[in-house]
Amino acid sequence: MNKLTYSSAGVDVDEGQRAVALMKQYVKGTFTAGVLEDIGGFGGLFALDLVGMREPVLVAGTDGVGTKLKLAFMMDKHDTIGQDCVAMCVNDILCQGAKPLFFLDYIATGRLQAEKAAEIVKGIAEGCKIAGCALIGGETAEMPGFYPEGEYDVAGFAVGMVDKARVITGKGIKAGDVVVGIASSGLHSNGFSLARKIFFEINDYNPSQHIEMLGETLGEALLRPTKIYVKPILEVLKKIEVKGIAHITGGGFYENIPRILPENTAVEIKLSSWRQPPIFNLIKDLAAIDTDEMYKTFNMGIGLMLVVKQEDTDNVLEILKQQNEEAYIIGKIIEGKGQVVLCQD
């Protein structure tokens, strides 16, 4: 009988070490002044810069990429999905006004392929650089028999910091305030279970298929990374009192906007006030999905919303324009009980 080893059971420790070696070049490119050690230790060390902070508050968030990963598998393209993972985490903690400090990732797969793992981390590192945070550690788990051949999962964890006096909670929002919407880059990382069903099960599309309505292949439109809003929003926060920030993720408008609304308020959204990416019209047309379902599932072209005083609106739009962001006045706060009212006119 042959001697049993960990490798014969499906876990290749040497491949794991090779993966770490390939990742290092991307990880080091994210290091900021707070990073104290290279990767490889049992924990990541990060020194807090508390200059100007009276009561520092740490803000943490964790998330994954969901079934958007299936697109990466179909297209065998793995260098952008990591940015999605970072974006989902840092955009969330940004909603409390926090500046992201560092990020950790978790990659799990049935059989580790060092080059593929390095491509995933390359995307994570790119997302961290866009967000201005450091990738200080992570875990790559090889789990034979648990994941189908060639598939993996990616999740992440971000920590940021904000002064307690500047924490954004939405409590100061009142009727008459204005909602500013910032353009998304497409579907971001939500609604893919429905989108995949429509495109690949009901209509038998191919990711490499060029779609005239989109001006690109379907795969390019769907796999485009989630936009990271950290740097433009931090610029806004330097100059403007932002009362509330909503990250439009799973649950679309109907679930995410009410999360920041105080009691006795609601929001009125004017649907004609922004340009929707054509991918949403394509989804709606192919499956005859009603408007409410679209806004309950997708971001519909608005990835982040800010609630500000009416008199601050022009300044917010100008700052965002200087940061090369498309932004629109898309609605207003009204009296109500947390409902989201969609107006066609």
Question: Which of 2-6, 12-16, 125-129, 183-187 is least confident?
Answer: 2-6
- pLDDT score for 121: 97
Rg (CA), the chain: 21
- Given 140, 166, 192, which residue is the final one in a domain? 166
Longest dimension (CA), the chain: 80
Which strands sit side by side in the sheet containing 134-142, from one edge to the other?
56-64, 152-163, 99-109, 134-142
* Residues 218 and 151 occupy one common structural domain: no
CB 211 within 8 A of CB 217: yes
Within a domain: residue 260? yes
- pLDDT score for 60: 98
Within a domain: residue 332? yes
- pLDDT score for 1: 55
* Residues 155 and 25 occupy one common structural domain: yes
The stretch 16-39 carries a mean pLDDT of: 89
* Residues 75 and 131 occupy one common structural domain: yes
- Given 131, 166, 201, which residue is the final one in a domain? 166
Within a domain: residue 8? no
pLDDT digits (tens, 9 = 90+) for 90-129: 999 999 999 999 999 999 999 999 999 999 999 999 999 9
Within a domain: residue 171? no
Q: Compute the CA torsion angle 213, 216, 221, 227 (nearest 10 deg).
A: -110
Which of the four pLDDT bands, split at 50, 70 and 90, describes residue 39? confident
- CATH code, domain with 296: 3.90.650.10
Average pLDDT of the chain? 95
| CA 252, chain centre distance (Å) | 13
* Residues 263 and 149 occupy one common structural domain: no
pLDDT higher at 4 or 326: 326
Number of domains into which the chain is organized: 2
- pLDDT score for 5: 73
* Residues 182 and 153 occupy one common structural domain: no
Other beta carbons less than 10 A from residue 80's beta carbon? 21
pLDDT digits (tens, 9 = 90+) for 61-79: 999 999 999 999 999 999 9
For residue 4, what are its two tokens?
């049993």
- Given 138, 166, 194, which residue is the final one in a domain? 166
Distance (Å, rounded) from C-alpha 114 to C-alpha 111? 10
- pLDDT over threshold 90, residue 11: no
pTM: 0.95
Within a domain: residue 123? yes
With a pLDDT cut of 70, the percent of the chain lying above it is 99
pLDDT digits (tens, 9 = 90+) for 195-220: 999 999 999 999 999 999 999 999 99
With a pLDDT cut of 90, the percent of the chain lying above it is 89
* Residues 141 and 192 occupy one common structural domain: no
CA distances to 43, 48, 98, 99 from 159, in Å: 14, 11, 9, 8
Question: Which of 35-39, 225-229, 275-279 is least confident?
Answer: 35-39
- pLDDT score for 2: 63
Distance (Å, rounded) from C-alpha 166 to C-alpha 52? 12
* Residues 117 and 185 occupy one common structural domain: no
Question: Which of 39-53, 251-265, 295-309 is least confident?
Answer: 39-53
* Residues 162 and 213 occupy one common structural domain: no
- CATH code, domain with 60: 3.30.1330.10
* Residues 25 and 55 occupy one common structural domain: yes
* Residues 47 and 138 occupy one common structural domain: yes
Within a domain: residue 264? yes
* Residues 146 and 283 occupy one common structural domain: no
- pLDDT score for 262: 96
pLDDT digits (tens, 9 = 90+) for 294-310: 999 999 999 999 999 99
CB 88 within 8 A of CB 189: yes
CA distances to 229, 247, 298, 300 from 283, in Å: 25, 22, 10, 11
Distance (Å, rounded) from C-alpha 133 to C-alpha 35? 10
pLDDT higher at 6 or 97: 97
Domain ranges, residue 62: 13-166
* Residues 189 and 254 occupy one common structural domain: yes
Which of the four pLDDT bands, split at 50, 70 and 90, describes residue 136? very high
pLDDT digits (tens, 9 = 90+) for 220-241: 999 999 999 999 999 999 999 9
